[in-house]
Structure 1
Amino acid sequence: MSLPSVCGRPAVSDGIDESSLKQVYEVGDQVTLTCEPGYIPSTAAPQHLACTPAGEWTESGLACSPRTCPIPKPLQSLVPGRTVVPFKTVLNYTCDDGYVMNGANESSCLSDGTWSHPPPLCKVVNCALPKPPRGGTFVMDKTTTAATTMYGQGWTYKCNPPNAPSFERGECMADGTATEPPICREVSCSIPEGIPNGFIAFAVMKTHGYKETVKYACNDHYVLDGPAAIECTNTGNWSAKPICRAPCSINIARGRILYNSRKIWIKDLKPNRVLHGEHVVFYCKNKVDKCGYQVASTCRDGTLALPECFQVPGKVEYTLRPGSLPSEITMCAGPPTAPSGTARPA
């Protein structure tokens, strides 16, 4: 059998220029390999391939690696551990809401290791100062003497008494426009209502106008949760009323507690009452280390949860051996390893 007299197109690795390669070569033909633009050769000397009588190509030691472009410094934090990217990499830029781009939104890593465009700048959007409502004005959150304001900055609308604005807040928006002014109109709020376990303090029982206030207070031993005063809003409704939170009783028959920085036997707590939000410390026993430890619980609107680890002492132990109770023995050096201090409802 005769040997092949031709060689096919040589197989080359990525980055080698294939534009001048033919599909078929005769024995003895030579091909000089070079790297495509944007790739760096592994050897300085030209690399030649020859078509052998066996129909195969001689070997080449040429490898082409892509050039790199330095990552722009503002972006290096987004790709930790990298400072360059390969040729043909494309960066797409966007700006956050409220910012406009100054420059190209795309840049490519070129064959010479440079970028086609520098990183753009994102400049904050500016709005013209807001228009005042008819029969009113506005107050900027930040005082300015400029004729414009920046994206995100806001202001409050005010109407001449007794009128109220249909909405109170405005801002410079992402599209560069300022909120249109509200309408000033008269509003009133109904006669205020009382609250459970509390009362209205120092108020005339009548309808109230915009921004007028009514104050509340709680009955004895109840704690006010929320603002003491409510306000007639621009919608003609009152702002949210406060709540009067109930006190708690400590529902243990025997034992000692820590309350207001004082250790107290429960029988000496008179009256048996703690206020909403106040803390009570109970004593539990670490049976392994034979020491006592503290677990706190908080009064929450009439409910004081007892720690799961707390055990009411028996009458004999409480009467004859009070020194053996968890509150009286040596305190543990640290908290117990088991999660035994969870509070349970009283």
Structure 2
Amino acid sequence: MAPTLALLVLCQVALYTTVTSKKVCGRPLVTDGIEELTLKHVYEVGEEVTLTCEQGYLPSTATPRQMTCTTTGEWTQSDLACAPKMCPIPGPLQPLAMGRTEAPFKSVLNYTCDDGYVMQGANESRCLHDGTWSNPPPLCKAVNCQLPRPPTNGKIAHDKPVTGSTTMYGQGWTYECNPPKAPSYERGYCMADGGATEPPVCREVSCAIPPSIPNGFITFAVMRQHGYKEKVKYACNEHYHLDGDAEIQCQNTGNWSSKPVCRAPCKVGIKRGRIFYNAKKLWIADLNPNRVLHGEHVVFYCLNKAERCGYPVTTTCNDGTLPIPECFNEPGKVEYTLRPKTLPSEIPMCVSSPPTIPTSPARSA
């Protein structure tokens, strides 16, 4: 029996060698968009596979699309690449698309409406295989509110004319009370939840004697308490600049609206040099009186030592303070008197110079 057993073992080894020596190809590796459902897991040598693009993709090349299983167990190369079809981005969304005009197959647009608006239509749209969207862009319709109720002993003044019994989200109105009463709050709105502001309470309101302001005065006013919406007017002393509203009003809170401020003029704080002011180039001694009003600009001249040329720097009067540019060097008496033509204001101006922006108040007059 021993020889027979040895022969059987040898036959099994020979059979195994014969079966396993034949090469096969596994499932070919393909790029995105190539149809895979028709591909097998194992192919014999010499078998061919014709690649195609999935629905929703376009072939990038006409040939070669075929791949062949070789004797080495590897596939021949195919240059086929499948690009997704594109859907045009809807016109209303173009400003949000960062310059893009199309979106690839399978892209999803998610829509939302701002607060106070109700969506009409689908909140999602997908780019389909045929280059169209599954749903059109929805509409966002403003929430409607019932018209507001006026306050007791008062009325409502709408910002825009209204018709019917409703008004749209975001629309506003002003509450008014019969004089001399004032509403506890003046403004109302149609809100995002479809509700309207509740009407205020009308009550007696008065403001204290109007306050004075430094370097200014009240014009044509009796110094007494004032009722709701009464006004007084301010003016400034000569050469002072009124900053803010000239009129203040007694508000529904019993307080006055913000008072104006009288801004002081400035003095150009140099003894020697030349400036540009009020469209004129002036020696400082010719600025008489030495006064620049609040908000007005003065140009000083600085020296570019490397180029030996002058350049202008602008500074601005701010409530009594006129900063002197850091680059400005006031000339000495001898230089100013005997060699004025060598000053930065008199020599040729630089072709390019630092930007003429208002200087920081590092040096003050």
TM-score class, shorter:
0.7 to 0.9
Provide the C-alpha distance between the structure 2 equivalents of 1:58 and 1:317, rounded to a whole number of angstroms: 92
Q: Distance in 1 between matches of 2:28 and 2:101?
A: 32
The Cα shift of 1:246 comes to 1.6
Match of 2:4 in 1: none
| 1:40-79 superposed matches below 5 A | 65=82, 68=85, 70-74=87-91, 75-77=93-95, 78=97
> Quick check: 1:98 aligned with 2:127?
no
Instruction: Determine if the alignment matches structure 1 residue 266 to structure 2 residue 284.
Output: yes
Matched position secondary structure for 2:195:
coil
1:246 aligned residue: 264
Inter-CA distance 337–200: structure 2 relative to 1 (3 Å threshold): closer
More deviation, 106-115/308-317: 106-115
Q: 2:9 is matched with which residue?
A: none
The one-letter amino acid of 1:80's match is G
d(CA) in 1 for partners of 2:286, 2:130: 88
From 274, 294, 299, the equivalent of 1:256 is 274
1:275 is matched with which residue: 285, 293, 297?
293
Give 2:125's aligned amino acid.
S
Q: Tell me, yes or no, if the aligned pair for 2:154 and 2:177 is still in contact at 8 Å.
A: yes
**Aligned with 1:299 (options 317, 325, 329):** 317
Q: Point out the more displaced range, 229-238 or 290-299.
A: 290-299
The structural deviation recorded for 1:125 is 3.0
Partner of 1:186: 204
* Residue 257 (structure 1) shift: 2.8
Residue 300 of structure 1, CA deviation? 0.7
Structure 1: unaligned runs, 5 residues or longer:
none
What fraction of aligned residue pairs are identical, expressed as a percent? 60
Aligned to 2:3: none
Unaligned runs of 5+ in 2: 1-16
AA paired with 2:123? N
8 Å contact kept, 1:210–1:234: yes
**Contact 1:308/1:340 (8 A) holds in 2:** no
What residue is the counterpart of 1:85 in the other structure? 104
What is the DSSP-based 3-state SS (H/G/I as helix, E as strand, rest coil) of the residue aligned with 1:303? Answer: coil
Task: Name the SS of the counterpart of 2:104 in structure 1.
Answer: strand
Higher share in strand: 1
Kindly state the Cα deviation for residue 7 of structure 1 after the two structures are TM-superposed: 7.3
Closer, same or farther: CA 213–58 of 1 in aligned 2, 3 Å: closer
Corresponding residue SS for 1:300: coil
Q: Which residue of 2 aligns with 1:320?
A: 338
Separation of aligned partners in 2, 1:122 and 1:318: 73
Instruction: Give secondary structure in 2 for the equivalent of 1:304.
Output: coil
1:186 partner letter: E
Select 1:2's aligned residue among 18, 37, 40.
Answer: 18
Higher fraction of helix: 2
Q: 1:336 aligns to what?
A: 353
Letter in 1 for 2:301: Y
| Contact 1:212-1:232 within 8 A present in 2 as well | yes
Matched, 1:169 2:176: no
- Tell me, in whole angstroms, the C-alpha distance in 2 between the residues paired with 1:55 and 1:28: 11
Q: Distance in 2 between matches of 1:183 and 1:299?
A: 47
Partner deviation per Cα, 1:56-87 (whole Å, 9 max, x = no partner): 6977969684763523432455163452412x
Structure 2 vs 1, CA of residues 316 and 12 (structure 1 numbering), >3 Å: closer, same or farther?
A: closer
Q: What is the CA deviation profile of residues 93-123 of structure 1, one whole-angstrom value per residue up to 9, with x for unaligned ones?
A: 1123332211111123345554332222222
Distance in 2 of aligned mates of 1:35 and 1:113: 15
Q: Is the counterpart of residue 150 in structure 1 residue 168 in structure 2?
A: yes
Cα RMSD (Å)? 3.9
2:242 is aligned with 1:224 = yes
Aligned residues: 342
Going from structure 1 to structure 2, the CA distance change for 1:31 and 1:266 (only over 3 Å counts) comes to closer
Q: 1:301 Cα deviation (Å)?
A: 0.8
Q: CA 1:29/1:127 → structure 2, altered by over 3 Å: closer, same or farther? A: same
TM-score (norm 2): 0.75
Query: 1:314 deviation in Å?
Result: 1.4
Equivalence for 1:117 = 135
Deviation at 1:326, TM superposition (A): 3.5
SS in 2 for 1:138: strand
Q: What SS does the aligned partner of 2:334 have?
A: helix
**Distance in 2, Cα, partners of 1:285 & 1:30:** 83
Which of 181, 206, 215 lines up with 1:197 in the alignment? Answer: 215
In the alignment, is the contact (CA less than 8 A) between 2:313 and 2:356 conserved in 1?
A: no
* More displaced stretch, 137-146 vs 228-237: 137-146
